[in-house]
Amino acid sequence: MGATVASFFLSRVCSNDANALRYGNISMAGLVTEVDGFYKTEEANKPLPISIAVVYVIMRLRGDSKERLQTFLSVMRKTANEK
């Protein structure tokens, strides 16, 4: 089931249709580059799952504020550290 959900999600994010634009239209290679950058920029990001990195990248490309991005990361890091 997870692979199906991930495939659907990525097809929406990486496609060229009009619905994808609201998420920040990006190619698969561009998404991989952005996710790599997410993990390289801060050591605190390394324990986070890739799904969180993808959501963060989409939020950033969509134009969410720095404050909202920081709040998202703070909550995700706290949750990851509780496990």
Statement: residue 39 has pLDDT above 90: yes
In this structure, what token pair is assigned to residue 16? 């060229």
Question: How many domains are contained in the chain?
Answer: 1
- Global confidence as pTM: 0.68
Residue 62: per-residue pLDDT: 82
Query: What's the full length of the chain, in residues?
Result: 83
Residue type, 79: T
Residue 54 structural domain: 2-82
Secondary structure tally for the chain: helices H, strands E: 4, 0
Mean pLDDT across the chain: 76
Distance CA 72, CA 52 (A): 9
DSSP, residue by residue, 45-76: GTTS-HHHHHHHHHHHHHT--HHHHHHHHHHH
